[in-house]
């Protein structure tokens, strides 16, 4: 890791930017068909049939059209792509996976679908039209105003048409399926407040969504699963997702500009993808919606692609079929500013090597890992390259203009820590500005805390501390120097601890799927909390932990708690808070009560760091690693805290009683809001009048527990249930 102060002149960055020529015949046809899928149904030709007792099964869903009429519309390549049913019908969907049943319950209030409907709107690229025409006679007509009004009132297509909040372009996804029309093609249905989707070109093909509140403009994905025939329903196998491509390397050329150094004047991303599906004609990737695409090339030749304005989703139409093991060489040219992620990214979170070549104007500074060469300044610009040795899941860099000084300190472990001091940040402008004597020691302390326990940070030789909010990377800690300190909280110490922990558990972490996002979000925050105990004491640590617990309570009371294994569908706040508590509970399952030691947990963290930074990790891998250090199976723990959403309520009654010449503690623990299968060891503390104390674990089950602690030769002065807050619970 190096810090580059850019002064002097530069070479002009040769990106080979060109403009793709006029649309190819295929792209013209594609755009025409794309528009056809979105035309209004009024005054357009349709086919109509009266139907009765017709059942259609699509993956997990069973639709029964008891009686009514069906319109077929929007023909593409001589086949209808839209069906509208008006009448009496039912839909039944059983979710065969525990986590997804629980998450559907969060979304809709039920763990399965049993719904009747009077209107069902369908977009399809499968064989539904052929199945209907086998049984019923259709006539050509147009939709009358009365039925058209019914369809509009039902808002049957509202959630299908592409909106900014959509992860994918639904019309593109349906149309790509039209070009390979088959029985297992695209199928989307809206009925009442439910959506059901089967998309053969998604990583997880089956989605049951629900409109949580009437009038919402967002559907909540309740159950998300792979297609039925893959039979992947075990909680611990959900991360085994068959992605169609994986990024194997990326070379980026950037020409930077702008007063703040954050404008990308021109960019070229050369992406090498390996095909992981049997065959592939269409593929997709994402680019931040604030970045504008200019053109795209495949093996140096223009390639067709489609992107809606302000959409992150980009659909690519390959000129031929590619097959498993083939490599696709894509070049994407773009520009823009105010981006969150400056490079293209993919559904598959697979980490890949990256090489970035920069051309930047005079006076700019950049911080990033892996800078290996710097050119001589020419004509007010300079060129340099960043090529870190480690593959990255996400790669960021921190640009900033002039006006920064650098103050270097050395940590106890011998690391050089460079504090970047902005002249724009000072106590005159900001009432909450932290002077260097308040700002720098907590940062050095956090670095020392982690280096003494986890060794030197991977991927960086020097550390730079940036005093504003931004994206942290190996070698870069973004710790705001404008921070209002509140008594009883972690304050700047917590910010420093979180950022220091990201040096170990950050963008180098490799995960198998979005279902592991909770680990990525939670571990830096919990380790940040752990780092508070040394400088600020246990009281502040527990105060922050309780604040996270109270946030979980609030979400649970609002029915917004979700299984962590639902992954990217879980809001970041819950991933952080509940995920932190999972790490806290694992810590105290591994805690040595006799020696009052975290030694086992720290060994676990070390191997977790090494494993997650070297190969993709699944929730199941994480569970096996935790079992290795706990020494016993942990299925019961992960079933409750990662794959479910219950938070127990303990009602504890205890009494200190004499038995002959000795003393015992008799306790009764009532429990609510958990399944009968719930089980959890809880740490208890008995304190005696002379200050001595004894710790022990007592297992509590879903049926409640009655237990006796002791006998003790001396009378206990105090009994504490759930010492160290070893279990997340209402008490």
What is the distance between the alpha carbons of residues 487 and 315, in angstroms, rounded to a whole number? 51
Are 398 and 409 found together in one domain?
Answer: no
Q: In this structure, what CATH number is given to the domain that contains residue 544?
A: 1.10.390.10
Are 464 and 394 found together in one domain?
Answer: no
Instruction: Answer whether residue 14 is part of any domain.
Output: no
Instruction: Answer whether residue 443 is part of any domain.
Output: yes
Are 390 and 294 found together in one domain?
Answer: yes
pLDDT, tens digit, 9 for 90 and up, residues 80-121: 999 999 999 999 999 999 999 999 999 999 999 999 999 999
Say which residue, 337 or 8, is predicted with more confidence: 337
Instruction: Answer whether residue 187 is part of any domain.
Output: yes
Are 260 and 287 found together in one domain?
Answer: yes
Are 455 and 581 found together in one domain?
Answer: yes
Which domain range does residue 273 map to? 243-402
Rounded to two decimals, what is the model's pTM? 0.93
Instruction: Answer whether residue 135 is part of any domain.
Output: yes
Are 569 and 712 found together in one domain?
Answer: no
- Type and span of the H or E element at 29: helix 25-36
The token pair at 17 is 């930017």
Residue 282, SS3 per DSSP: strand
Lowest mean pLDDT among 133-142, 374-383, 434-443, 662-671: 374-383
Tell me which of 641, 665, 683 is where a domain ends. Answer: 641
Instruction: Answer whether residue 344 is part of any domain.
Output: yes
φ, ψ of residue 574 in degrees (nearest 5) = -75, -35
Are 249 and 192 found together in one domain?
Answer: no
Are 655 and 628 found together in one domain?
Answer: no
Tell me which of 361, 379, 402 is where a domain ends. Answer: 402
Are 426 and 386 found together in one domain?
Answer: no
Is there a contact between 198 and 59 (Cβ–Cβ < 8 Å)?
yes
Are 173 and 85 found together in one domain?
Answer: yes
Are 653 and 715 found together in one domain?
Answer: yes
Q: How far is CA 137 from the centre of its chain?
A: 48
What total number of domains does the chain contain?
4
Tell me which of 204, 233, 262 is where a domain ends. Answer: 233
Q: Place 309 in a pLDDT band, splitting at 50, 70 and 90.
A: confident
Question: Which residues lie closer than 8 Å to 199 by C-beta, 6 or more apart?
Answer: 173, 177, 186, 188, 205, 207
Instruction: Answer whether residue 8 is part of any domain.
Output: no
pLDDT, tens digit, 9 for 90 and up, residues 7-24: 222 222 233 333 345 789
In the chain, what are the helix, strand and coil shares in percent, each to the nearest 5? 25, 35, 40
The token pair at 49 is 């049939």
Instruction: Answer whether residue 358 is part of any domain.
Output: yes
Are 112 and 210 found together in one domain?
Answer: yes
Per-residue pLDDT at 8: 27
Is there a contact between 145 and 101 (Cβ–Cβ < 8 Å)?
no
pLDDT, tens digit, 9 for 90 and up, residues 175-200: 999 999 999 999 999 999 999 999 99
Share of the chain above pLDDT 70, in %: 96
Whether 280 shows a pLDDT value over 80: the answer reads: yes
Per-residue pLDDT at 245: 97
Instruction: Answer whether residue 4 is part of any domain.
Output: no
Residue in 495, 504, 490 with CA at minimum distance from that of residue 535 = 490
Is there a contact between 377 and 9 (Cβ–Cβ < 8 Å)?
yes
């Amino acid at each position: 890791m190096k810090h580059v102060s850019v002064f002097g002149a530069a070479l002009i960055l040769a990106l080979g930017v060109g403009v793709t020529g006029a649309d190819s015949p295929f792209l013209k046809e594609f755009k025409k068909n794309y528009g056809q899928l979105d035309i209004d149904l009024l005054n357009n030709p349709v086919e109509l049939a009266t139907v009765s007792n017709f059942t259609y099964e699509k993956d997990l869903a069973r639709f029964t059209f008891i009686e009514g009429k069906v319109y077929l519309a929007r023909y593409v390549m001589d086949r209808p792509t839209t069906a509208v049913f008006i009448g009496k019908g039912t839909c039944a969907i059983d979710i065969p996976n525990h986590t997804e049943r629980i998450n559907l319950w969060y979304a809709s209030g039920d763990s399965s679908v049993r719904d009747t409907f009077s209107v069902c709107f369908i977009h399809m690229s499968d064989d539904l039209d052929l199945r209907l025409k086998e049984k019923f006679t259709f006539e050509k007509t147009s939709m009358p105003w009365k039925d058209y009004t019914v369809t509009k009132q039902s808002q049957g297509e509202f959630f299908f048409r592409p909106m900014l909040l959509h992860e994918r372009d639904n019309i593109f996804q349906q149309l790509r399926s039209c070009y390979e029309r088959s029985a297992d093609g695209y199928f989307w249905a809206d009925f009442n407040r439910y959506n059901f989707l089967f998309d053969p070109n998604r990583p997880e093909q089956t989605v049951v969504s629900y409109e949580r509140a009437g009038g919402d403009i967002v559907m909540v994905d309740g159950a998300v699963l792979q297609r039925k025939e893959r039979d992947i329903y075990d909680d611990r196998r959900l991360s085994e997702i068959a992605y169609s491509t994986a990024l194997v390397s990326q070379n980026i050329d950037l020409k930077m500009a702008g007063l703040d150094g954050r404008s990308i004047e021109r960019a070229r991303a050369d992406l090498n993808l390996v095909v992981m599906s049997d065959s592939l004609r269409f593929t997709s990737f994402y680019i931040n919606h604030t970045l504008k695409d200019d053109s795209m090339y495949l093996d140096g030749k223009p390639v067709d692609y489609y992107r809606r304005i302000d959409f992150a989703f980009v659909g690519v139409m390959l000129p031929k079929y590619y097959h498993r093991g083939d490599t696709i060489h894509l070049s994407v040219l773009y520009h823009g500013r105010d981006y969150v992620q400056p490079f293209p990214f993919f559904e598959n979170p697979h980490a890949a090597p990256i090489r970035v070549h920069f051309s930047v104007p005079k006076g700019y500074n950049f911080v990033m890992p892996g800078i290996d060469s710097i050119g001589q300044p020419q004509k007010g610009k300079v060129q340099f390259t960043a090529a870190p040795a480690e593959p990255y899941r996400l790669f960021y860099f921190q640009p900033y203009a002039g006006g920064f000084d650098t103050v270097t300190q050395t940590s106890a472990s011998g690391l050089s820590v460079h504090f970047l001091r902005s002249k724009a940040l000072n106590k005159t402008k900001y009432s909450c500005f932290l002077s260097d004597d308040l700002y720098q020691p907590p940062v050095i302390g956090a670095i020392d805390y982690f280096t003494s326990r986890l060794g030197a940070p991977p991927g960086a030789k020097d550390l730079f501390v940036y005093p504003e909010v931004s994206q942290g990377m190996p070698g870069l800690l973004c710790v705001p120097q404008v921070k209002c300190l509140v008594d009883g909280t972690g304050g700047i110490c917590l910010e420093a601890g979180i950022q220091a922990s990201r040096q170990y558990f950050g963008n180098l972490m490799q995960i198998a799927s979005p279902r592991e996002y909770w680990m990525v979000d939670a571990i830096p925050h919990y380790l940040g909390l752990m780092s508070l105990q040394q400088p600020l004491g246990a009281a502040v640590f527990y105060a922050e932990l309780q604040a996270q617990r109270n946030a979980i309570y609030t979400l649970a009371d609002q029915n917004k708690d979700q299984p962590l294994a639902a992954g990217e569908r879980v809001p970041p706040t819950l991933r952080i808070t509940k995920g932190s508590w999972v790490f806290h509970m694992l810590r105290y399952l591994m805690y040595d009560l006799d020696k009052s030691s975290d030694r086992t947990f720290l060994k676990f963290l070390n191997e977790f760091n090494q494993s997650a930074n070297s190969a993709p990790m699944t929730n199941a891998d994480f569970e096996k690693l935790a079992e290795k250090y706990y020494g016993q199976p942990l299925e019961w723990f992960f079933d409750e805290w990662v794959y479910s959403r219950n938070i127990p309520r303990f009602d504890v009654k205890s009494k200190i009683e004499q038995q002959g010449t000795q003393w015992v503690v008799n306790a009764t623990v009532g429990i609510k809001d958990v399944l009968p299968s719930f089980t959890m060891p809880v740490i208890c503390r008995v304190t005696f009048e002379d200050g001595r104390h004894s710790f022990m674990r007592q297992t509590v089950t879903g049926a409640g527990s009655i237990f006796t602690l002791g006998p003790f030769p001396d009378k206990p002065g105090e009994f504490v249930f759930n010492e160290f807050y070893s279990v997340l619970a209402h008490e």
